[in-house]
Amino acid sequence: MPMRILVYLKFLSKELINPISYLIAFLIGATINTLQGNGILFSAVPYAVPLFVQSFAKASIKFKNKEMDILCQLPAERQDPVFVIAKDGRIAATAGNTKILFEKNNIKRIHDLFGTSESETILKATAEIRAEGETEPLELYSKITNKWYQTKIKIGAGGHLLIWLDEISSRKAMDVSLSAIRGFSREVIDSINELAVKNDIYDRLALLILRGGYQGVFITREDNEGNLSGYAFRGKPDDLIKSELIQVPENSSAPIWASRKAECDINGCVAFANKPESVSQAEFEKAHPFDERVKAFLGFAITNYINYAEGDVSIIAFNKKDGIKKFDTDVINTVVNTARSVTHLVDLAIGNNRMLSALEVAEEVQQNLLPKEIPAIKGLNIAAKSIYCNKTGGDFYDFLNLSKNSESKFTVVIGDVSGHGIAAGLLMTTARALLRSRSAQPGTLSEIVTDVNRDLTLDIYDTGRFTTLLYLMVDPLNHRLQWVRAGHDAALLYDPKSDSFEELYGSGLALGWDENYQYEENERTGLAKGQVIFLGTDGIWETFNLTGELFGKEPLKDIIRRNAAASADDIMNEILTALERYRQGKEPEDDVTLVVIKLVDL
């Protein structure tokens, strides 16, 4: 018997045993018999006919709309695209914008949306869900929509698949951009002395930016008179065209200066604009008066730009395909950080008229990537520092997604890369870039660390290296701590009222071991004024004295206890002084990084 008949009979049987159907049939039958002047039980026909008619009618309607009913089983928070497919990949039901999209592009099967290979992956994942109850999230690209999606699947009635797609195009674009930047950084570090001879760092930076989807770029440095001097570039990566030197005075209103006048975060300053369709080109250029020499050289109408500045380096990139997005600000941040470090290295090599060692290169890049300022957070007093031993190390810390005077939650990350030297320093910069890019996207702490681990593991596959990490968020307004541990030593929470220390444990492998590892988020509530949170690396408690004895954690706790009433900066300095005394002149054998957070009045 055909499957459709079996499904229909299933609906019919449910209606035939539905008590409401019998109640309605009884009322109709009794009414008909009474109106005919007969007794209520005179004839069974007025009862039987309504029962079967309404049962067949209801069953037919439900059979016809069975796939739309499945669509309604999707979570309430779903977003388009959302649809139902049959076991063979046929699109069984759509609604809203998804229906419009599918009809416009003649999408009748899942294969039409994703292609044969990707669709088979979805159907294979479905088989895994039926067998195991769950499967790994799928990330698939659709040529029809030109977007990346994370695919979520649920098994519905009759074996149909309920599918909804979360767009992750921005995250994918960010990953691609940062991968290119990491490759650029490695290439530059390997050829820093060649750069010093050729002095073509602007040209290489321009190629990197143009490959990122921009139509033109203007790269400058601030000169001794306070003006911005540099070169504009346009063309394709294989046909780069460079302008003559262009100088933009300090009193200019050109957008190359915009980021220096914009609200800055603790890592730099950014300004960008996209021309709305309702605004004419003349009106857009009046609001953003681009330097005439730059405009003339570029030779195209500027419809969007992004400008980022840090230190003496300012870069403005023009006409990003599809416009400037949020993630572009994080990418340009990393580009400028790289440019600033590299130009400083080139200056150092040229100024000293000597070749730089690879160790000096890695150390300079590393030092330039540490936070330049401590953020001001209402309800918190913060201090942080990294001190490297006589080799380039892998310790790092960073503050994420903060403005200078943020009243929001405070997020800090501290890590320790295995080993020392150039490789450790470069792995640190990679981990930092991945953390910054992923933290700028939506997601919980555990999701962020899980994604960073996946990307980092793929990046350092077969090197044998790894990095421990502690990702911590403090919410002083709601008196709450959240954190994820990835093989790092537990943070300490000291409460002076009870004179007790609590170690903030939580399971989690070091980053770089297992690309599929799922990290867990931990939480602690009831934070109170006067409590002290301490994060550090093992270079603190594993400091040796002249006789080879370890400093240990108990002396560290004693220092925090004795100085709990002092500021975070004073507590940090007391710890560093104690370590210096304990070494008794002995050279440090490991990096020391620490972050002290004290809860104060809101």
Query: Could you give all domains of the chain from N- to C-terminal order, each with its CATH number?
Result: 3-64 (no CATH), 70-167 (3.30.450.20), 172-352 (3.30.450.40), 371-599 (3.60.40.10)
Q: How confident is the model at residue 372 (pLDDT cuts 50, 70, 90)?
A: confident
Percent of the chain at pLDDT > 70 equals 68
Sequence-distant (≥ 6) Cβ neighbours of residue 393 within 8 angstroms: 366, 417, 420, 424, 425, 428, 590, 591
For position 366, what pLDDT does the model report?
Answer: 58
Name the residue type at position 150: Q
Rounded CA gap, 342 and 208, in Å? Answer: 14
Residue 396 to residues 126, 367, 418, 537: CA-CA distances in angstroms?
Answer: 42, 9, 12, 9
- The H-assigned helical ranges of 133-252 are 169-190, 192-198, 201-211
Q: How confident is the model at residue 263 (pLDDT cuts 50, 70, 90)?
A: low
Rounded CA gap, 209 and 217, in Å? Answer: 7
> Phi, psi at residue 421, to the nearest 5°?
85, -165
Structure tokens at 44: 């069974």
Confidence check: pLDDT of 69 > 60: no
Render 218-268 in DSSP notation, one character per residue.
EEEEE-TTS-EEEEEEEEETTEEEEPPPEEE-TT--SGGGHHHHSPEETTE
Beta carbons within 10 angstroms of residue 583's beta carbon: 16
**180 or 540, higher pLDDT:** 540
Q: How confident is the model at residue 154 (pLDDT cuts 50, 70, 90)?
A: confident
Structure-token match 């797609």, residue found:
165
Average pLDDT in the 269-279 region? 88
Beta carbons within 10 angstroms of residue 584's beta carbon: 10
Chain segment 161-204, per-residue pLDDT in tens: 777 788 777 777 766 666 666 667 666 666 666 766 677 778 88
Q: How confident is the model at residue 152 (pLDDT cuts 50, 70, 90)?
A: confident
Identify the helix (H) or strand (E) that includes residue 381: strand 380-387
**312 or 129, higher pLDDT:** 312
Q: How confident is the model at residue 405 (pLDDT cuts 50, 70, 90)?
A: very low
Rounded CA gap, 134 and 127, in Å? Answer: 10
Picking from 167, 208, 171, the residue whose alpha carbon sits closest to that of residue 188 is 208
Structure-token match 């479905």, residue found:
126
N-to-C CA span, the chain: 72
Identify the helix (H) or strand (E) that includes residue 387: strand 380-387
Q: How confident is the model at residue 29 (pLDDT cuts 50, 70, 90)?
A: low
Confidence check: pLDDT of 498 > 90: yes
Report the DSSP pairing between strands 246-248 and 228-236: antiparallel
Contact present, 62 and 44 (Cβ < 8 Å): no
For position 107, what pLDDT does the model report?
Answer: 87
